[in-house]
Structure 1
Amino acid sequence: MFIPRPNKSFPHLEPAVWAIDQEHAVHYFFPRDCPRVIYWKADNSTIEDREQFFRYSTVDKIMVVENGWMERLRTTKLYVYVFAPEDFHWFEEAKTAGYYISHKEVKPLRVEVIDDLLGSMMEQDIELRFTPNLSLIKEAVINSSLDFSIIRYANAVK
């Protein structure tokens, strides 16, 4: 059973249970504390930003992770809880994140295990990149016209 709880990123929000849509689920195919920068083409992305960030790629979404997380990506098992969609509503405040919330207790319909995170990512239409340090790509993405998600950055190499 999942019980609503406060969220540090949205302290004004009533306690909630959080879920993610299928399109954004790949953002979470990582060990929980793994820092990552994810960016993708948006309708309002400039031609210059598309060229700069996607020049040598055929995908619309790129995910960047620090080198030090490779072994954990190879060995981590992920448990995906599947919920009934009618228990959740779209969290409009974070328009491009794919979040859904419920303010009541919810029971998963089933649990799916992903025991090959890298393989599961490669089945998606994304590009996965590794770097020693996320700071440069983080700053570049934040200052671009792309949509992005920066997850667990507090755990990144400083």
Structure 2
Amino acid sequence: MRPGPGEVLHFSEDPTITRFVPHTAATARQSEPYVWAVDAARAPDYWFPRQCPRAMGWVTPATTDDDRARLLGPGGGERVHAIEYRWLDALRTVRLYAYRLPAATFRPFGAPVPHAHVCTEPVEPLAPPEPVGDLLGLHRQAGIQLRVLPDLTTFWQALTASTLGFSGIRLRNAR
């Protein structure tokens, strides 16, 4: 599930949204209200239940062979996602939807490399939301390793100390 040309995606467990209105999340680090979306590169970051904590790492031009071998393993591909065992059932059963939004109304957000796209005006989806489907299957088809761990702490510490690119979402919900 990735956006097409001229699109960005917003993932939600709510299939009834007809208009996205900018808001400031309670956990936001910025005060400006936004509508949030992602491009094709960051869409896999959201192939999870909304509240599921996840740690993600990927190969970058700066990634060393040692870090790649240590964190991705032999035949590990270019990317790894990790969740905790207690979230596995939710990952298998969540009903997740993708909303296609017009990319032209959004701007990249994040530095030095953008990790999202934001819009400061209300925006309507280009079409009704699409069920995302089998999240495990999406990971498999994309060649993304999906690890299920007792807790994310050790893996997160290894990722953040490595030369891999990394992102953590909803880590406050981890054990």
Same fold, judged at TM 0.5 (above): yes
Residues 94, 31 of structure 1: CA spacing in aligned structure 2 closer, same or farther, 3 A cutoff? farther
Quote the residue 1:84 is aligned against.
102
Give 2:29's aligned amino acid.
F
Question: What is the 5 A alignment of 1:8-157?
Answer: 8-12=27-31, 14-93=32-111, 95=113, 97=115, 99-110=116-127, 111-157=129-175
Alpha-carbon distance between aligned partners in 1 of 2:58 and 2:24, rounded to the nearest angstrom: 28
Alpha-carbon distance between aligned partners in 2 of 1:87 and 1:115, rounded to the nearest angstrom: 27
| Displacement after TM superposition at 1:56 (Å) | 1.9
TM-score, structure 2 as length reference? 0.82
What secondary structure does 2:41 align onto? helix
| Higher helix proportion | 1
146-155 vs 47-56, greater mean Cα deviation: 47-56
Gap runs ≥5 in structure 1? none
Give 2:146's aligned amino acid.
L
| Displacement after TM superposition at 1:94 (Å) | 5.7
Gap runs ≥5 in structure 2? 1-18
What secondary structure does 2:86 align onto? helix
Give 2:69's aligned amino acid.
E
| Displacement after TM superposition at 1:66 (Å) | 0.6
What secondary structure does 1:64 align onto? strand
Does the 8 A contact of 2:101 with 2:126 survive in 1? yes
Does the 8 A contact of 1:83 with 1:107 survive in 2? yes
Alpha-carbon distance between aligned partners in 1 of 2:91 and 2:21, rounded to the nearest angstrom: 28
Taking only aligned residues, the RMSD between alpha carbons, in angstroms, comes to 1.5
**Kindly, what percent of the aligned residue pairs are identical?**
34
Residues 94, 100 of structure 1: CA spacing in aligned structure 2 closer, same or farther, 3 A cutoff? farther
Alpha-carbon distance between aligned partners in 1 of 2:110 and 2:170, rounded to the nearest angstrom: 22
Does the 8 A contact of 1:77 with 1:116 survive in 2? no
Does the 8 A contact of 2:57 with 2:79 survive in 1? yes
Alpha-carbon distance between aligned partners in 1 of 2:138 and 2:69, rounded to the nearest angstrom: 27
Query: What is the aligned length?
Result: 155
Alpha-carbon distance between aligned partners in 2 of 1:63 and 1:103, rounded to the nearest angstrom: 30
| Displacement after TM superposition at 1:5 (Å) | 1.3
